[in-house]
Structure 1
Amino acid sequence: MPGHEILTATLAAALLLFHGLGLVLIVHALMNVRTSQGTIAWIVSLLALPWIAVPMYYLTGKSRFSGYVRARRGEDADLRKLAEDMHQRLRHHEIKPDDAFGRAAEFLGGLPFTRGNELTLLIDGEETFEALFKSIASAQTYLLVNFFIVKNDRVGHRFKQALIDRAKAGVRVYFLYDELGSNKLSRAYLKELEAAGIKHAYFGSNRYWVSRVQLNFRNHRKIVVVDGKEAFVGGINVGDEYLGRDQRFGAWRDTHLKLRGPSVQAIQLVFIEDWNWAADEIPDLEWSGHAETADQIAAIIPTGPADPVESWQLVVAELANTARERLWIATPYFVPDGGVLTALQAASIRGVDVRILIPEKADHLLVWLSAFTYFEPAITCGIKLFRYTRGFLHQKVILSDQLACVGTANLDNRSFRLNFEISALSADPAFASDVAKMLENDFTLSREVKVDEFTSRPFLFRLACRAARLTAPVQ
């Protein structure tokens, strides 16, 4: 058989194979993809362009994190026992919420509201790193550390040295990082940690070779726990840009939170679930949960693809549904799905002061373009949109009446359905007042967005925005 005939036959066989695989994956998408929009997008792609869609589906189309799901639902006996013991120890700190949102948040997060906490709002990188490194240096027994991004720059070097110093002092250090978010973390960096006796593990999409390239299910959490007494969560990763040292973004606006009290035990449990998945180990930790004199109420809400429902989406929608006076949201990515957008619109229509604060600058082009398509449906319902103009805005903060939330979750599909996130909520009046003052200052450094910022743009720009929005299910 001549060479060209062999090549033609090979291409035909490959094409047939891709079309066959595409049909098989269509069935999988129908049974497993969480949204109708995502399902339709995959079906069209797998039918029209199977040679592109089939490998992309392998990379991003998986909808569940099966092993983690089994552990999260209590099928891991050791984790189940640990969670039951923690709940038992926290019973005398626990309070039962008497409002609709509180009951929903407790149900979705699976962790109790507790009193006896002390919450310290940390504004921007300098304040956060100062508090964080001070707490790390005070560790006597153990450190639990989880970041989405860790860079080998000046801040990353200081972070590495801080962990090494404590390890050399006899402190047990457990360092967890996301394999995609920290993909540039060098082997030399990790070897230095290993040499000091620090245990480290990456949070991957699966521990088996067939799933190693799965791009979804990122661990977007930022957690530090010191001796079971102090914890940190929020928007800041480990890198120079969080101190405003990136020439592209300049000043970096972010928010973090330091916690003491029984809520630290809940954060520990979230870390242990992640660590057990990545390292197949449950470290021996302190679970006593001492109360602080500040006596602030707090709840920890972990969300992610292991949940039986889209927990973060429901949290945001319920915050909008229960708000009566104000709903202020600061997020770098404003790509809400239909349910969340409807809840925001309804809140604004019934007279709630709904404000959304987003960046002026873009760090992810598709997400930035997608946001333009939400301007008209939001603003025409009375929602006020603001662009932060003093550098890049990365904080994830919500203030609903007197309930404040600081965490790692954005208003986009990744946080709603694909990323592992963690948020801390509090109805403490003093804490809510601090968050309100912080956001009020942010609004003074912002400009209000008008509808014509999208509608008056050139046709090709609006077309690009509409096209970018189609990619929202995998952004």
Structure 2
Amino acid sequence: MLSASVVATVVLIFHVIGVLAALHAVMTVRTAPGAIAWAGSLVMMPYFALVPYLIFGRSRFAGYVNARRFNDDRLREIRHGMTPADREARSACVVHAPEQVCMRALPRLTGMPCLANNDVRLLVNGTATFDAIFKAVAAATQVVIVQFFIVHDDVLGRRLQALLCERAQAGVKVYFLYDSIGCHALPRGYVKTLLAAGVEARAFSTHRGFVNRFQLNFRNHRKLVVVDGAQAFVGGHNVGVEYLGQRPPLAPWRDTHISVRGSAVLDLQMAFAEDWYWAAREVPYLLMPPPEEVGRMTCQVVPTGPADAQETCSLFFVEAIQAAKHRVWITSPYFVPDEAVFAVLRLAVLRGVDVRILIPARPDHLVVFAASTLYAHQAVTAGIKLYRYQPGFLHQKVILIDDDAAAIGTANLDNRSFRLNFELMVMTADRAFAGQVAEMLEADFALARRIGVEEFLRAPAPLRVAMHVAKLFAPIL
């Protein structure tokens, strides 16, 4: 049996480490409520809080910041290596004063310019998305970039694997980047097959440094495919048959991707280059988009993540919402907004803006669904129109601002996307495309049920308590 002095020493060590971790939390956690919650629990209950803090607590991906500096130096070399014609074509596409208010702060926020000469097309649901991706990849002659949060070793995943192997063996440079946590169930043999065929395959992981070894945060949630520097695909789909609507009980699956051609494709490659540099410590081979005119759309690429100097994703939502004059429609599988986004949503209602948010009727994560239900009740009481999509699970991430701007990508309306995940959105300015997005969302709203205050009030008391408890976990949901 342990002596009292040994037990006292162990307890003292725990409390000393807890105090040090609390000081770390105060210095690094970005939000005051989060810092208070972590610091209090680490000081008072270090035996229970230290391990969760190692796994979830850190809010900055510092190692990525250092890697980004080296990567940016290499990318500058690539830019300097452009021909005068390339630089001239790039400069000619830069839009210095976008007409759309929602895009004016984004170049300085992201460090990427707002660009003209683009064509963006909607890809609604999985079949249209993967048919387009596979067709483009099959025709690749130089470089293929593939990045997904989740890849399953199922029928769809094996189709992708076979296609990438075929292109690599044909002499195409193929990059395959996957998230180590999102793909935790992906067999090692899947990646070994890719490597054996000549595909450059890497896992995005936080396993750099001892403390990061325990991290489950800082997931790379981006989904991006780029073919020959000319065409890119961005959106909500991962790789798996559920994204084709073939896996109950969430089927049919509702999601949206976009196909992008034009000057913005280079910026999408730049975002990938940062992630690839972190995983492989090398800059991938990038191609300039073809110089010819492909469209009249203006686009702003918005990569966001925990290594940003500011909370780029949250500020992106704030900028989009506060710019709306008569409507802002948002679809997201999760509704767990931070205080800034929730405040600007309520202010938009007070300005007379038609604020609509579409969320799922079916849960894929029970805790998130419970917290979303409570936030939905608070939003409804503030005049925000909340809807639940009825046919199946809703996974798309779309924002429509007025009649001339829309954004589509990977970011959810939750704190995990705002502060913990690496995300990728594309903001577009084009009245015709915004009209297509509006038609798509109108069809989705027609299949939805509007949420009333009774959804929360009529819930059993234990369930309402559970919703409030779930809300306490909002900073990591």
**Residues 67-106 of structure 1 mapped to structure 2, 5 A cutoff:** 67-72=63-68, 76-82=72-78, 88=87, 90-96=90-96, 97-106=98-107
**1:264 and 1:289 in contact (8 A); partners too:** no
Which secondary structure does the structure 1 equivalent of 2:104 belong to?
helix
2:196 match: 195
Q: Structure 1 CA distance, aligned partners of 2:108 and 2:448?
A: 36
Which secondary structure does the structure 1 equivalent of 2:295 belong to?
coil
Aligned amino acid, residue 158 of structure 1: R
**2:377 and 2:455 in contact (8 A); partners too:** no
Shift of residue 453, structure 1, vs aligned partner: 0.6
**1:71 and 1:79 in contact (8 A); partners too:** no
1:445 match: 447
1:334 match: 335
2:425 match: 423
Shift of residue 209, structure 1, vs aligned partner: 4.5
Q: Structure 1 CA distance, aligned partners of 2:154 and 2:7?
A: 47
1:368 match: 369
Shift of residue 246, structure 1, vs aligned partner: 1.0
Q: Structure 2 CA distance, aligned partners of 1:82 and 1:11?
A: 59
Cα–Cα, structure 1 residues 368 and 177, in superposed 2: closer, same or farther, change >3 Å?
same
Shift of residue 55, structure 1, vs aligned partner: 1.1
Shift of residue 83, structure 1, vs aligned partner: 5.8
Q: Structure 2 CA distance, aligned partners of 1:188 and 1:72?
A: 30
Aligned amino acid, residue 205 of structure 1: T
**1:399 and 1:432 in contact (8 A); partners too:** yes
* 2:23 matches 1:24: no
Cα–Cα, structure 1 residues 226 and 467, in superposed 2: closer, same or farther, change >3 Å?
same
Which secondary structure does the structure 2 equivalent of 1:90 belong to?
helix
Which secondary structure does the structure 1 equivalent of 2:325 belong to?
coil
Q: Deviations over 1:19-44 (max 9, x none)?
A: 11111111111111000111111022
Q: Structure 1 CA distance, aligned partners of 2:306 and 2:156?
A: 31
TM-score normalised according to structure 1 size? 0.96
Cα–Cα, structure 1 residues 212 and 356, in superposed 2: closer, same or farther, change >3 Å?
same
Structure 1: state its 5+ residue gaps: none
Q: Structure 1 CA distance, aligned partners of 2:360 and 2:149?
A: 20
**1:117 and 1:291 in contact (8 A); partners too:** no
Cα–Cα, structure 1 residues 320 and 285, in superposed 2: closer, same or farther, change >3 Å?
closer
* 2:467 matches 1:434: no
Q: Deviations over 1:390-424 (max 9, x none)?
A: 10000000001121000000010111001000001
Please say which of residues 77-86 and 300-309 is displaced more in the overlay: 77-86
Please say which of residues 90-99 and 166-175 is displaced more in the overlay: 90-99
**1:262 and 1:291 in contact (8 A); partners too:** no
1:467 match: 469
**Residues 152-231 of structure 1 mapped to structure 2, 5 A cutoff:** 152-231=153-232
Q: Structure 1 CA distance, aligned partners of 2:207 and 2:107?
A: 28
**1:150 and 1:177 in contact (8 A); partners too:** yes
TM-score normalised according to structure 2 size? 0.95
Q: Structure 2 CA distance, aligned partners of 1:356 and 1:143?
A: 35
Structure 2: state its 5+ residue gaps: none
Shift of residue 290, structure 1, vs aligned partner: 2.7
Shift of residue 386, structure 1, vs aligned partner: 0.2
Identity of aligned residues (%): 48
1:275 match: 276
Shift of residue 100, structure 1, vs aligned partner: 3.7
Shift of residue 107, structure 1, vs aligned partner: 1.5
2:265 match: 264
Task: Give the aligned CA root-mean-square deviation in angstroms.
Answer: 1.7
1:382 match: 383
Shift of residue 73, structure 1, vs aligned partner: 5.4
Which secondary structure does the structure 1 equivalent of 2:16 belong to?
helix
Q: Deviations over 1:358-407 (max 9, x none)?
A: 00011111111101222333112221000000100000000011210000
**2:124 and 2:256 in contact (8 A); partners too:** yes
Which secondary structure does the structure 2 equivalent of 1:374 belong to?
helix
2:38 match: 42
2:120 match: 119
Q: Structure 2 CA distance, aligned partners of 1:64 and 1:289?
A: 37
Which secondary structure does the structure 2 equivalent of 1:46 belong to?
helix
Aligned amino acid, residue 91 of structure 1: S
Q: Deviations over 1:400-455 (max 9, x none)?
A: 11210000000101110010000011111111011000000000010000011112
Shift of residue 115, structure 1, vs aligned partner: 1.5
Aligned amino acid, residue 329 of structure 2: W
Which secondary structure does the structure 2 equivalent of 1:378 belong to?
helix
Shift of residue 10, structure 1, vs aligned partner: 4.1
Q: Structure 2 CA distance, aligned partners of 1:472 and 1:85?
A: 46
1:15 match: 11
Q: Structure 1 CA distance, aligned partners of 2:250 and 2:219?
A: 24
Q: Structure 1 CA distance, aligned partners of 2:45 and 2:137?
A: 51
Q: Deviations over 1:112-137 (max 9, x none)?
A: 12121111100000110110110110
**Residues 275-354 of structure 1 mapped to structure 2, 5 A cutoff:** 275-354=276-355
Cα–Cα, structure 1 residues 264 and 5, in superposed 2: closer, same or farther, change >3 Å?
closer
Q: Structure 1 CA distance, aligned partners of 2:241 and 2:270?
A: 29
1:130 match: 131
